[in-house]
Amino acid sequence: MKEHIVGEEISALSDGALSGAARARAEAHLADCGACRRELESLRHLKRLLAAAPRRTLPADLALNLEHRYVGARPWTAAFTRPAFWVPVGAVAAAALAFSVWSRSLSPAGDLPLEPLLAAHERYSAEALVPEPNLVASSYSDPLTLTYADAADGTTE
């Protein structure tokens, strides 16, 4: 084996996690390569030192703070309290407001033709007085026109 044993493979070898052909290949390489043997021995020595190091307990308030920060579940509403949510929402709202103001300025409200609207309203009001069976006739508004024209002249039928 010409390539050195590095990274995860040498760590797995020191832990005894390599098996089968990978372990045989690594041991064959270690028989020929002093640099890899020194690296493996250095890693094993470091693990022995760390295992022998005195243990200290984590302060309770720090453990509780870390648990709340990283383990505790956040409610689904937590995203709405962050500026990362409200800044784009505010930008979209401002753009919509600016667009509505701009589009209102293009056509003034005084340009609506009121005469055709009023005529259509009067016709609708007059046709609403026609009984339901007469609505199927194609000329149902003609008698109304005559009736209202006569009423405007002062004559009634």
Q: How confident is the model at residue 10 (pLDDT cuts 50, 70, 90)?
A: confident
Report d(CA 64, CA 72) in Å as an integer: 10
Instruction: Look at residues 141, 118, 115, 114 and name the one whose alpha carbon lies nearest to residue 128.
Output: 141
Number of domains making up the chain: 2
Question: What Å distances lie between residue 66 and 62, 74, 75, CA to CA?
Answer: 6, 14, 17
Residue 137 lies in a domain: yes
Is residue 69 over pLDDT 60? yes
- Residue scoring higher pLDDT (70 or 43): 43
N- to C-terminal Cα separation, the chain: 119
Domain hosting residue 25, numbered range: 8-52
**Domain closes at, from 52, 67, 87:** 52
Residue 35 lies in a domain: yes
Task: Give the domain-ending residue among 52, 67, 82.
Answer: 52
How many residues are present in the chain? 157
Please report whether residue 92 resides in a domain: no
Q: Are 34 and 28 in contact (CB under 8 A)?
A: no
For the whole prediction, is pTM greater than 0.75?
no
Chosen domain end from 16, 34, 52: 52
Predicted local confidence at residue 135, as pLDDT: 55
Distances (CA, A) of 25 to 22, 114, 136: 5, 94, 96
Task: Establish if 147 belongs to a structural domain.
Answer: yes
In-domain check, residue 148: yes
| pLDDT for the residue 83 | 82
